[in-house]
Structure 1
Amino acid sequence: MKTALSILSLTLSLFFVCGCSKEADEAVPGQWVNNTEELTQQNKQKITITQGITGTLTLKEGNCMPIIGPNSTCKEYPVKRTVVVYPYTTLQEAEQTEHVYYKIDALPVLTVESDAEGFYQAKLSPGTYSVFILNDGKLFANSTDGQGGINPVRVDEDVVTTFNPRLDFAVY
Structure 2
Amino acid sequence: MKRIYFAFIIALPIVGCVNQPSQNPQKKIKQGIKGTITWLEGNLMPGPDSNIKAKEGKPVVRQIYVYKLVNVKETESEGSFFTKVKGNLVKKSQSTEAGDFYIQLPVGEYSIFVKEEKGLYANLFDGNSNINPVVVNKNKVTEIALKIDYKAFY
| Structure 1 residues 140 and 71: CA distance shift in structure 2, 3 A | closer
The unaligned stretches of length 5 or more in structure 2 are 1-25
| Structure 1 residues 68 and 97: CA distance shift in structure 2, 3 A | same
TM-score (ref. length: structure 2): 0.76
2:41 is aligned to 61
Higher relative contact order (CA closer than 8 Å, sequence separation 6+): 2
Q: CA deviation at 1:107?
A: 3.8
Q: Is the 8 A contact 1:53 1:121 kept in 2?
A: yes
| Structure 1 residues 122 and 73: CA distance shift in structure 2, 3 A | closer
- The Cα RMSD (Å) is 1.8
Superposition pairs of residues 145-160 of structure 1, within 5 angstroms:
145-160=126-141
Verify: 1:131 aligned to 2:112, yes or no: yes
The unaligned stretches of length 5 or more in structure 1 are 1-45
Name whichever structure is richer in strand by fraction.
2
Query: Residue 28 of structure 2 aligns to a residue in which SS?
Result: coil
Q: Is the 8 A contact 2:44 2:152 kept in 1?
A: yes
Q: Is the 8 A contact 1:85 1:129 kept in 2?
A: yes
Q: CA deviation at 1:137?
A: 4.9
1:25 is aligned to none
- CA distances 1:19-59 after superposition (whole Å, capped 9, x unpaired): xxxxxxxxxxxxxxxxxxxxxxxxxxx72100000001101
Q: Is the 8 A contact 2:44 2:50 kept in 1?
A: no
Q: CA deviation at 1:108?
A: 1.3
Output the CA distance in 2 between the equivalents of 1:70 and 1:89: 36
- Number of equivalences: 126
1:166 is aligned to 147
Structure 2: which amino acid aligns with 1:60?
A: L
Structure 2: which amino acid aligns with 1:62?
A: G
- CA distances 1:46-98 after superposition (whole Å, capped 9, x unpaired): 72100000001101111112231366793511000001001100011111211
Superposition pairs of residues 1-172 of structure 1, within 5 angstroms:
47-69=27-49, 74-75=54-55, 76-98=57-79, 100-102=80-82, 103-168=84-149, 169-172=151-154
Q: Is the 8 A contact 1:51 1:157 kept in 2?
A: yes
Larger radius of gyration: 2
Query: Residue 74 of structure 1 aligns to a residue in which SS?
Result: helix
Identity %: 36
